[in-house]
Amino acid sequence: MLYATPTLTADDQRVLAEIDDFYADFHRSTGGSRAGEWLGGVRKRLVAGAIRGSNTIEGYTVELSTASAIVSGAPVPASVPEESREAVTGYRDALTWVMQTPDMGFFVHSEMVLSALHFMMTRFWKDKSPGRYRRKGIVVTGSDPLVPAYIGPDADEVPVLMRELADWLNEGDLDAPLLVRAAMAHLNLVAVHPWRDGNGRMSRCLQTLVIARGGRVSPEFCSIEEWLGHDINTLDYYRVLRETNQGSYQPRLSAGTWVRFCLRAHHLQAQLVGKRLRLGRDVWTAAEELAVRLGLHDRTVSALYAAATDQLRRDTYREAEGLSRDQAIRDIRSLEHAGLVEAVGYGTALYYVAAGELRQLAGGITAALTAPPVEPYPAG
């Protein structure tokens, strides 16, 4: 037996409608003929944020710049712990695959799909049985190792529950709102806790998979993994899971509080995504105007944009603009000489960030977008 999809309240329905309005705005704002000039950078930033957020919850913390480099396949500093690097790389592979599933006409949810995703995420830890169900009971501890935070179902129940979950993913509650189905997929997988490790990451990834398979044009705009990874939100995440399952697998309990938590997260993350989209568009426009005013080659706009919003890497810039190695070096040196970018790191991990006037322009645009979010549910 799985946790049942709860009946939505009037507030839940209203919040869902507001989230849909956000997503419709995203679709309109990214559909213009020039959106492709800056949209790729926003998408990469959102994917990096989701990967970093989900791994941070599990203690594999890296800087956003490192997550961004891993998303791009670029080298990372040697100071990054191997376990953190492997955790982020594995999650990148799994999430990249998830983002491709809307184009897989043959896709069917199955235990094997979940097993393969789990293997992608945890393959570095061979002693944790990547891709294979646990064979013993499992106890999740909290801050005090002597006090269990959650006790999963017996190991012999796991295969039965996972088959039920796979069947539900294909056929269950298909008339429920997509974000509600995704939340319930997350809850049921984390509650079954089928693997020795990686259950939280897999459950968050499954939530994004359900959203991607549900027809969202850009599932990275709809993921809440970045939001969940912020410290105070992570604490709230664990609190709501504890309130929902009350310490053990009890699927007869209501999942209403959990669904409301997820809808609130979607609403708040959507507000942030809207700001990131406006930031991307406005920084690109400012970079264009700066390049014209300083007489820079128009192709350097993409380099200025990358430095102002994320990282400018020579090889990435060279490939994006179809340049030779020498051309890319000359362009970046010209930006350095103009005081618009500065180097960070060295060797293969070298990248550039905004400096001088470019930094001031980007900072001003960012500052104009820092208004606090609007809470979707009434207080109390």
- One digit per residue, pLDDT tens: the chain, 380 residues? 999 999 999 999 999 999 999 988 888 887 665 667 788 888 888 888 888 898 888 888 888 888 888 887 888 878 888 998 899 899 999 999 998 998 899 999 999 999 999 999 999 989 889 999 999 999 987 666 667 889 999 999 999 999 999 999 999 999 999 999 999 999 999 999 999 999 999 999 999 999 999 877 577 788 899 999 988 999 999 999 999 999 999 999 999 999 999 999 999 999 999 999 999 999 999 999 999 999 999 999 999 999 999 889 999 899 989 999 999 999 999 999 999 999 998 887 789 999 999 999 999 999 999 999 999 999 86
Is the domain of 188 the same as that of 326? no
Is the domain of 142 the same as that of 214? yes
CA distance 361 to 364: 5
Of 242, 273, 304, the one marking the end of a domain is 273
Buried/exposed 334-363: b ≥16 CB within 10 Å, e otherwise: bbeebebbeeebeeebebbbbbeebbebbe
Residue 193 neighbours by CB under 8 Å, 6+ apart: 134, 138, 140, 150, 152, 153, 199
Is the domain of 110 the same as that of 34? yes
- Are 320 and 329 in contact by the 8 Å Cβ rule? The answer is no
What is the pLDDT at residue 32? 60
The backbone region for 215, taken as left when phi is positive above 0, alpha when psi lies in -120 to 50, beta otherwise, is left
Q: Is residue 89 part of a domain?
A: yes
Is the domain of 127 the same as that of 233? yes
Residue 350 neighbours by CB under 8 Å, 6+ apart: 313, 314, 343, 344
Is the domain of 230 the same as that of 348? no
What is the pLDDT at residue 76? 80
What is the pLDDT at residue 377? 95
Is the domain of 125 the same as that of 261? yes
Of 273, 304, 321, the one marking the end of a domain is 273
Is the domain of 176 the same as that of 144? yes
Q: Is residue 4 part of a domain?
A: no
Q: Is residue 283 part of a domain?
A: no
Is the domain of 82 the same as that of 34? yes
Instruction: Give pTM, 2 decimals.
Output: 0.92
Is the domain of 260 the same as that of 304? no
CA distance 234 to 52: 13
What is the pLDDT at residue 35? 62
Which domain does 171 fall in, by range? Answer: 10-273
Of 241, 273, 305, the one marking the end of a domain is 273
Instruction: Provide the domain count of the chain.
Output: 2
What is the pLDDT at residue 302? 94
What is the pLDDT at residue 71? 81
CA distance 340 to 236: 41
Residue 167 neighbours by CB under 8 Å, 6+ apart: none
For residue 340, the one-letter residue type is L
Residue 76 neighbours by CB under 8 Å, 6+ apart: 62, 66, 69, 70, 85, 349
Beta-ladder partners of 353? 342
Q: CATH number of the domain that 300 lies in? A: 1.10.10.10
What is the pLDDT at residue 183? 98
Axis-axis angle for helices 178-192, 256-294 (nearest 10): 110
What is the pLDDT at residue 146? 63
Is the domain of 59 the same as that of 162? yes
| Token pair belonging to 63 | 């800087």
